[in-house]
Amino acid sequence: MTLTPSSPGSAARRPRGAVRQSRAGTAFVAAYVVLLVAFGVLPTAYAVYFAFTDAGGKVTGFANFTATAHDFRFMDAVSHVAVYLAFWLLSLVVFVVALALLLHRLASGSASKALRFLYYIPGALAGAASVLVWLFMLDPTVSPVSSLLGMSGFHTFGEVIAPGNLPLLFTVIAFWTGAGGWIVVMYGALNNIPTDVMEAARIDGAGAWQTAWHVQIPMLRKWIVYMVILAFAGGAQLFVEPQLLSLASVGVAGRDYSLNQLTFDFAFQMNNINGAAAVSVELLVVSVSAAALFVARSGFFDAD
Amino acid sequence: MSRSHHRPPRRRSVPHLASRLLTGSVLAAFLAFFVLPVLWLALAATKTDHQLVHDNPLSFGSWHALKANWDALTAFQDNAIMQWLGNSALYAVISLAITLAVAIPAGYALAMTEFRGRHTLLIATLVVMLMPNATLVVPLFLEINAVHLIGTMWSIILPYSFYPFGVYLTYIYFTTAVPKDLLAVARMDGCSEFRVFWHIALPLATPVIALVGFFSFVANWTNYFLPYVMLPESSQMPIQVGVGTLLSNVPSFNPAVGTLAIERPQLALATLVAITPVLIVFLFAQRFLVSGMLAGATKE
């Protein structure tokens, strides 16, 4: 047995230690594996099983998928979520990167730090709270920016929540709660760019724009992709925003708006568990493929 | 208006006045966007509904109105708001405890030990982490229903406790911040694997424990869809779902409501109450956050 400290990976040289470690490693992950199976793998399997069977448990192939796709609300919900995702991802990429760059250039370190924290505060209002806040902000009778709403031609709450405005409204809500956290992340990633790289850009006479465009943004690429994937996963599951909006507008706006609301409606209002499972499976296929593609291709998660 | 005449290069590049003004106003505009609604919300709770409509939106109402709003809010369904808060705290804290007990050892083992299936488990964690959890709500309902746990607190605590993002953060932390040699030395000194974890790795992991705890607590506290499906009884609702119930009892949003109505300032107060725990955790976790949210960024 050699005495040089070796890495755990070199199992061949330290067979006894490796066996011991392997047992310990398995023990340390055991509880997690149980939860992973119970709440990750099993529900997925359940969804697939229900999606391909009928209420009596008989295999029906793609019948549930075609039936739900023919529901008059289905294509609407798909396009609602797609338009919302486009707005949300675009605003996130443009504004988060721009704000992080601006904060990074700020001469005063303490001002930059304070701003990062203040931008981050709405993150505490994620979920139902953010929707309530924005219901108030968008109600011209009580909004602090009612003059702004008036100038844009909105005088009643009903006008503000017209169907065409909803993707934008949900984008504002999501950006308000989510952007601050990502600004912190991007800022940190900017800090990690080696000083000699930045110095070289400066010596080459690059201005702020050139440095940002040719040096900083390319080095943030990995992080931008990471942000987009997580935001995509979060955005595709749109539920609480339209659900609360429909409560606030007595069902006028936001009812059956998103795919998740539709699964809820199939499962609990129409008693069509199999149809709900079919829509869940579709959402899962899209998001897992996106995730798998990202894990495999981005090099972000080098698994070793 | 540009004052851009050429200057000799300085040690620090001095931005031109125009670009400085632009930077300042962009940052200020976003500051207003992020902070004004929070400020408005805090002030709204101190007003009567009449003041809310007619007074300056950013004015303070009165302590008296705040007290009256609080009394009206707690009178709703016989102090339901306190029960909802208690429920939220119970669910979030138990899930947090299980999450930490499960995720920290798992992340440690993935990073620092070698065992069969490690690579597969890591990939599975990454994929599940990037998967939107709300798509699993209906299947989870079916599964929980099959084991007769619907309507019990375990129907949300157990799914909350499964937190792959926490495992991933822990994994990243150990691969980047803790040298493997350190553990190898301890092993050669005859420490058992459990002692290595407990006495060497765990004390080094305080920042990541705080971070996983923070994210898990906030995610559990703010979740809406899962408890909305699993716990429909008002006595079991967490505050997030409860606030939704309040919303449907506000006459200006829902004219069909009768005498048990909630007014808008009371709804604003309820929202404030609902977010206060998260806000407090925010303030305390701040210094962990900045370093911790970058856990992956430092990985090179």
Query: Do residues A88 and A146 both lie within one domain?
Result: yes
Higher pLDDT, B288 or A277: A277
* Residue B271 pLDDT grade (very low, low, confident, very high; cuts 50, 70, 90): very high
Residue found under tokens 């943030």: A220
CA B20 to each of CA A102, A207, B16, B25: distance values in angstroms, whole numbers, following the listed order: 10, 14, 6, 9
A260 near B133, Cβ under 8 Å? no
Give the separation between CA B117 and CA B104, rounded to whole angstroms. Answer: 18
Position A247 pLDDT exceeds 60: yes
Put simply, the answer to whether B102 touches A35 (Cβ < 8 Å) is: yes
Residue found under tokens 């157990």: B158
| A264 belongs to a structural domain | no
- Percent of chain B exceeding pLDDT 90 equals 29
Put simply, the answer to whether B180 touches A144 (Cβ < 8 Å) is: no
Put simply, the answer to whether A264 touches B135 (Cβ < 8 Å) is: no
Task: Report the range out of A13-22, A84-93, A294-303 with the highest average pLDDT.
Answer: A84-93
Opening angle at CA B281, ends B276 and B287, nearest 5: 140
Residue A146, burial from CB neighbour count under 10 angstroms (0-12, 13-18, 19+):
middle
Average pLDDT of span B14-29: 84
If one counts the domains in chain A, the total is: 2
Position A294 pLDDT exceeds 80: no
* Category of A9 on φ-ψ map: left (φ > 0), alpha (ψ -120 to 50) or beta: alpha
Which pLDDT score, from 0 to 100, does residue B259 have? Answer: 58
| End-to-end Cα distance, chain B | 45
Average pLDDT of span A267-275: 86
Which residues, in sequence order, are CB contacts of B163 under 8 Å at separation 6+? B99, B102, B103, B212, B216, B219
Q: Distance, in angstroms, between B251 CA and closest chain A CA?
A: 9
Q: What is the pLDDT of residues A157-201, one digit of tens each?
A: 888 888 888 999 999 999 999 898 888 888 888 887 888 888 888
Which pLDDT score, from 0 to 100, does residue B114 have? Answer: 87
Position B289 pLDDT exceeds 50: yes
Which pLDDT score, from 0 to 100, does residue A1 have? Answer: 35
Give the separation between CA A37 and CA B278, rounded to whole angstroms. Answer: 30
The overall average pLDDT reported for chain A is 84
Taking CB atoms and an 8 Å cutoff, what residues of chain B touch A192?
294, 297-298, 300
The model's pTM: 0.83
- Give the CATH number for residue A183: 1.10.3720.10
Give the separation between CA A1 and CA A15, rounded to whole angstroms. Answer: 9
Q: Distance, in angstroms, between B78 CA and closest chain A CA?
A: 22
Taking CB atoms and an 8 Å cutoff, what residues of chain B touch A284?
131, 135-136
Position B300 pLDDT exceeds 50: no
Give the separation between CA A295 and CA A57, rounded to whole angstroms. Answer: 35
Task: Report the range out of A85-99, A271-285, B51-65 with the highest average pLDDT.
Answer: A85-99
Q: What is the largest CA-CA distance in chain B?
A: 76
Average pLDDT of span A144-168: 86
Higher pLDDT, B91 or A24: B91
Position B292 pLDDT exceeds 80: no
DSSP B201: I
- Residue A25 CA to chain centroid, in angstroms? 31
Position A304 pLDDT exceeds 80: no
Query: Do residues A118 and A174 both lie within one domain?
Result: yes
Higher pLDDT, B261 or B212: B212
The tokens of B80 are what?
A: 């339901």
List, by residue range, all CATH 1.10.3720.10 domains of chain B.
Answer: 77-292
Higher pLDDT, B13 or B239: B239
ipTM more than 0.85?
A: no
The closest alpha carbon to B163, from A233, A36, A23, belongs to: A36
The overall average pLDDT reported for chain B is 83
Position A287 pLDDT exceeds 90: no
Residue B211, burial from CB neighbour count under 10 angstroms (0-12, 13-18, 19+):
buried
Which pLDDT score, from 0 to 100, does residue B179 have? Answer: 79
Query: Do residues A37 and A155 both lie within one domain?
Result: no
Q: What is the pLDDT of residues B174-198, one digit of tens each?
A: 887 777 888 888 888 888 888 888 9
Residue found under tokens 């998740």: A260
Assign 3-class secondary structure to chain A.
CCCCCCCCCCCCCCHHHHHHHHHHHHHHHHHHHHHHHHHHHHHHHHHHHHHCECCCCCECCCHHHHHHHCCCCHHHHHHHHHHHHHHHHHHHHHHHHHHHHHHHHCCCHHHHHHHHHHHHHHHHHCCHHHHHHHHHHCCCCCCCCHHHHHHCCCCCHHHHCCHHHHHHHHHHHHHHHHHHHHHHHHHHHHHCCCHHHHHHHHHCCCCHHHHHHHHHHHHHHHHHHHHHHHHHHHHHCCCHHHHHHHHHCCCCCCCCCCHHHHHHHHHHHCCCHHHHHHHHHHHHHHHHHHHHHHHHHCCCCCCC
Position B117 pLDDT exceeds 70: yes
Query: Do residues A35 and A83 both lie within one domain?
Result: no
Query: Do residues A92 and A223 both lie within one domain?
Result: yes
Closest CB from A39, A98, A115 relative to B162: A39
| A273 belongs to a structural domain | no
| A151 belongs to a structural domain | yes
Query: Do residues A178 and A102 both lie within one domain?
Result: yes
Which residues, in sequence order, are CB contacts of A152 under 8 Å at separation 6+? none
Average pLDDT of span A145-156: 85
Give the separation between CA B140 and CA B65, rounded to whole angstroms. Answer: 44
Query: Do residues A53 and A111 both lie within one domain?
Result: no
Give the separation between CA A178 and CA B130, rounded to whole angstroms. Answer: 16
Put simply, the answer to whether B128 touches A36 (Cβ < 8 Å) is: yes
Give the separation between CA B171 and CA A29, rounded to whole angstroms. Answer: 12
* Residue A86 pLDDT grade (very low, low, confident, very high; cuts 50, 70, 90): very high
Which pLDDT score, from 0 to 100, does residue A145 have? Answer: 85
Which pLDDT score, from 0 to 100, does residue B298 have? Answer: 43
Q: What is the pLDDT of residues A192-218, one digit of tens each?
A: 788 888 888 888 888 888 888 888 888
The tokens of B15 are what?
A: 């931005």
Query: Do residues A44 and A84 both lie within one domain?
Result: no
Which pLDDT score, from 0 to 100, does residue B294 have? Answer: 54
Average pLDDT of span B20-26: 89
Chain A CB within 8 Å of residue B145 CB: no
Which pLDDT score, from 0 to 100, does residue A163 have? Answer: 83
The closest alpha carbon to B175, from A194, A304, A10, belongs to: A304
Average pLDDT of span A121-134: 88
Q: What is the pLDDT of residues B128-172, one digit of tens each?
A: 887 777 778 888 988 898 899 988 999 999 999 999 989 988 888
Closest CB from A122, A128, A283 relative to B244: A128
The whole domain housing A249 covers 74-255
| A269 belongs to a structural domain | no
Chain A CB within 8 Å of residue B23 CB: yes
Closest CB from B105, B180, B255 relative to A8: B180
The tokens of A283 are what?
A: 């959402």
| A251 belongs to a structural domain | yes
Q: Distance, in angstroms, between A69 CA and closest chain B CA?
A: 17
Query: Do residues A205 and A130 both lie within one domain?
Result: yes
A-B interface: how many C-beta pairs under 8 angstroms?
324
Which pLDDT score, from 0 to 100, does residue A96 have? Answer: 95
* Residue B29 pLDDT grade (very low, low, confident, very high; cuts 50, 70, 90): very high
Spell A249-285 as b/e; 16+ CB within 10 A means b: beeebbbbbbbbbbbbbbbeeeebbbbbbbbbbbbbe
Give the separation between CA A146 and CA A157, rounded to whole angstroms. Answer: 10
Taking CB atoms and an 8 Å cutoff, what residues of chain B touch A233?
130-132
Which pLDDT score, from 0 to 100, does residue A302 have? Answer: 56
Helices within B45-163 (DSSP H only): 49-54, 63-75, 80-112, 118-129, 137-146, 154-161
Which pLDDT score, from 0 to 100, does residue A296 have? Answer: 75
Chain A CB within 8 Å of residue B108 CB: yes
Residue B189, burial from CB neighbour count under 10 angstroms (0-12, 13-18, 19+):
exposed
* Residue B297 pLDDT grade (very low, low, confident, very high; cuts 50, 70, 90): very low
| A297 belongs to a structural domain | no
Closest CB from A132, A179, A304 relative to B267: A132
- Percent of chain A exceeding pLDDT 70 equals 92
Average pLDDT of span B115-122: 90
| A302 belongs to a structural domain | no
Position A303 pLDDT exceeds 60: no
| A294 belongs to a structural domain | no
Which pLDDT score, from 0 to 100, does residue B287 have? Answer: 67
- Domain B77-292 indexed as CATH 3.20.20.10: no
